[in-house]
Amino acid sequence: MKRRYYAAVLLSMAAPFAAAQSSVTLYGVADIGLEYLNNANAAGDKLFRMTSGNASGSRWGLRGVEDLGSGMKAVYALESGFDLDSGVSSQGGRLFGRQAFVGLDHKWGRVTLGRQQNALFDLLINYEPMVLAARYSALSIDTNLAGRYDNTAKYTGKFGPVTATALYSFARGTSITSGGTTSLGTEVPGDVKSDRAFGGGLEYAGGNFGATVIYDQQQGTRGITGQNSGQTDRRIAAAANVSLGSSTVLAGYRWFNGDIGVARRNDLFWLGYRFRATPALTLTGAGYYVNNRRNGQDPWMLVASANYALSKRTDAFLNVGYVRNKDNSNLGLNGFGSTITPGENQTGVMVNIRHKF
């Protein structure tokens, strides 16, 4: 009888510890390829090179969860980006430049603190034909579509087919150089707007249809010449996709109005079609158009992509792109002002391999 009593006591003492289960996952992506570009400099020379992070940014990371009981969990993520061709760290040399946060997760939502993705990155990725690839995608036109902010408090809630997210960055981490020393933006006493960012969005994804709307705002950074905290860059994005059998149509729009550094106002439109030809082969075509409201520099870009799954973890890409520049615009397949002479058009071909672990 006593043995049964002691066993019951020991089990009751162990119950709180059993609830506090935890797990840690090591994960990553290794992505690298070969690229050919024409009109790659002012002389119009061709370029053949090796590049990293083409379809997905190369990275390694740790993410973990601990069960705190009563439906509450502690969560964290540490994610480091790197260039596979050289081995150096990405995101300006940060150790965990892609993500670094900790928080609490409950059925009513997740609250996290640290360096995190903005709402555009979280919600647009399923509606951009090239999945916000670093090159040959909408990200070449607007890098903030896959932006990250330092010092960020973020809420994410999932309620059936609806996802809601909101975030506030006390200082988004703009690089400031003063007196030969470079530092990242930080909170400024007496100027709560300096380097601030905030935003949020809603997504509905149910059945064969999905749609999202997102808002993002950044403030100018005190300490940078030509900027002040009263300046703002604002973005509004709306996108949708529809799947019918093996086909998916994706469309999106991004409105932008800003005066951080230089006053700008433009619209970005995209339309894409994705076809799963076989269980292993996926074909994608996409078109992107920029309407610059302050001048006639309205470039457009066409991209065709073939993705072949060699296994569940490894796939290969063939991307072909073309950019038409108008009125001295300087959009390249790798972004504005990158390896392109203003007013010149550019054609590119990329062969890429990606492994996920």
Name residue 154's beta-bridge partners: 112, 167
Query: Is 3 within a domain?
Result: no
Check pLDDT > 80 for residue 11.
Answer: no
- In this prediction, residue 10 carries a pLDDT of 39
Mean per-residue pLDDT for 119-142?
Answer: 97
- In this prediction, residue 183 carries a pLDDT of 82
Mind listing the pLDDT tens digit for each residue in 247-280? 999 999 999 999 998 999 999 999 999 999 999 9
- 60: part of which helix (H) or strand (E)? strand 59-69
Residues 6+ apart with CB under 8 A from 235: 120, 142, 144, 214, 215, 216, 217, 254, 255, 256
- In this prediction, residue 149 carries a pLDDT of 98
Q: Exposed, middle or buried, 48 (CB in 10 Å: 0-12/13-18/19+)?
A: exposed
Mind listing the pLDDT tens digit for each residue in 217-230? 999 999 898 899 99
Helices (H), the chain: 2-19, 119-124
Read off the DSSP letter of residue 250: E
Separation CA 282–CA 275 (nearest Å)? 6
Confidence of residue 235 (pLDDT cuts 50, 70, 90): very high
Please give the model's pTM, rounded to 2 decimal places. Answer: 0.91
Query: Is 153 within a domain?
Result: yes
**Cα 231 versus chain centre, distance:** 24
Mean per-residue pLDDT for 235-257?
Answer: 98
Per the CB < 8 A criterion, the answer to whether 193 and 172 are in contact is: no
- In this prediction, residue 8 carries a pLDDT of 45
- In this prediction, residue 43 carries a pLDDT of 85
Q: What is the rounded average pLDDT for all residues in the chain?
A: 93
Query: Is 311 within a domain?
Result: yes
Query: Is 16 within a domain?
Result: no
State the total domains in the chain: 1
Confidence of residue 20 (pLDDT cuts 50, 70, 90): low
Long-range contacts of 288-292 (CB under 8 A, 24+ apart): 288/138, 288/141, 290/141, 290/266, 290/329, 290/331, 291/266, 291/267, 292/265, 292/266, 292/329
Mind listing the pLDDT tens digit for each residue in 25-36? 999 999 999 999
Check pLDDT > 90 for residue 17.
Answer: no
Query: Is 235 within a domain?
Result: yes
Query: Is 329 within a domain?
Result: yes
Confidence of residue 239 (pLDDT cuts 50, 70, 90): very high
Query: Is 1 within a domain?
Result: no
- In this prediction, residue 166 carries a pLDDT of 98
Query: Is 9 within a domain?
Result: no
Between 166 and 223, the more confident residue is 166
Instruction: Please give the residue range of the domain that contains residue 243.
Output: 21-356
The CATH code of the domain that includes 189 is 2.40.160.10
Mean per-residue pLDDT for 86-115?
Answer: 96
Tokens 């973005």 correspond to what residue?
A: 235
Mind listing the pLDDT tens digit for each residue in 42-96? 888 999 999 999 999 999 999 999 999 999 999 999 999 999 999 999 999 999 9
